[in-house]
A and B are shown apart, each in its own frame.
Chain A
């Protein structure tokens, strides 16, 4: 019984670690920025009902996120 419990715990921990590495890993800034992007576009589209702005904002914010993350890594590697 105790062995089965620890096996389940180990599996759950492994499952959690996999998703953490998959989504956050060594780029927490991308994860956080993606949440912000989602929030902003949700506000524009669902609350503001401004479709044209949402169509432009979503890819633009993605490019901004990528640019900032690359810039952060570039500065770190040059230090």
Chain B
């Protein structure tokens, strides 16, 4: 497997896992509070909707001119990756409270328990599970489609996302309510570095920049960004008091 393929699999797997942990937290909260029927129904309908989206948009993107696709995709990944990195840096340095799955869990449970009508609660449970899986999954779909088609390896990207789905699903079943133990910020920071690296690489290719050593440049760019991010976090930590946990 080439270095660019490893980076692709790593980026898609980690990004998918981060989003899936968030979705799973909501589904587990709905399942524990209102029963697994509504939670699973909402999740399955959302997964089918997302799969249909990939099936429709994926093949269409493959026929898009590669240079234009890389410029658009590169720009989107560049912006999205910088946003992730910024948030992860602020959290790692204690300037922003860490994302806490426990708080998301409690809020979902509170929302369900506040509804007295049993039929209404079943409906709200379905909608919460659907929205949780669909919205978090939509970000996964965008990452899979953009990275996969631009790298000319859509199948590999889909495989990495499915692997993340299986791993998060299995871990979720085992640890159930201990999802807050997942080192989400570290994963988010790694994904941020990879997304910005891909964004830089593809944007450059879209603008006719010829990277020295071809695909290997992607690994070098990622290494440079990782070092810079580490230096920023170390610098900020030295001057900051840590904050408590909140939901994003």
Residues of A within 8 A of B (CB): 18, 22-23, 25, 27, 30-31, 34, 37-38, 41-42, 45-46, 51, 54-55, 58-59, 62-63, 65-67, 69-70, 73-74, 77
How far, in angstroms, from A52 to B199 measured CA to CA in the complex? 18
> Which A residue sits closest to B217, measured CB to CB?
A55
Give the number of residue pairs across the A-B interface with Cβ within 8 Å. Answer: 90
Instruction: List 20 additional A-B contacts (Cβ < 8 Å) besides A23-B79, A58-B203.
Output: A23-B80, A30-B83, A34-B75, A34-B78, A38-B203, A41-B203, A41-B204, A55-B209, A55-B212, A55-B217, A59-B221, A62-B82, A62-B199, A62-B200, A65-B82, A66-B85, A70-B86, A73-B86, A73-B90, A77-B95
Which 3 pairs across A and B sit closest by C-beta, in order of nearness? A54-B209, A34-B79, A45-B207
How far, in angstroms, from A55 to B207 measured CA to CA in the complex? 11
Residues from chain A with Cβ under 8 Å of B209 in the complex: 41, 45, 51, 54-55, 58
Known: A23-B80, A70-B86, A74-B236. A55 touches B211 (CB 8 A): yes
Contact check, A73 vs B96: say whether CB atoms are below 8 A apart: yes
Sorting the interface of chain B by its residue count into under 10, 10 to 19, 20 to 34 or 35 or more gives: 35 or more
Most buried by B among A18, A55, A70: A70
Chain B contact residues, majority secondary structure: helix
Contact check, A59 vs B224: say whether CB atoms are below 8 A apart: yes
Contact check, B79 vs A31: say whether CB atoms are below 8 A apart: yes
> Which B residue sits closest to A33, measured CB to CB?
B82
**0/1 string, B173-208, CB within 8 A of A gives 1:** 000000000000000000000001001100110011
Contact check, B208 vs A46: say whether CB atoms are below 8 A apart: yes
Contact check, A59 vs B200: say whether CB atoms are below 8 A apart: yes
| Min C-beta distance of A27 to chain B, whole Å | 5
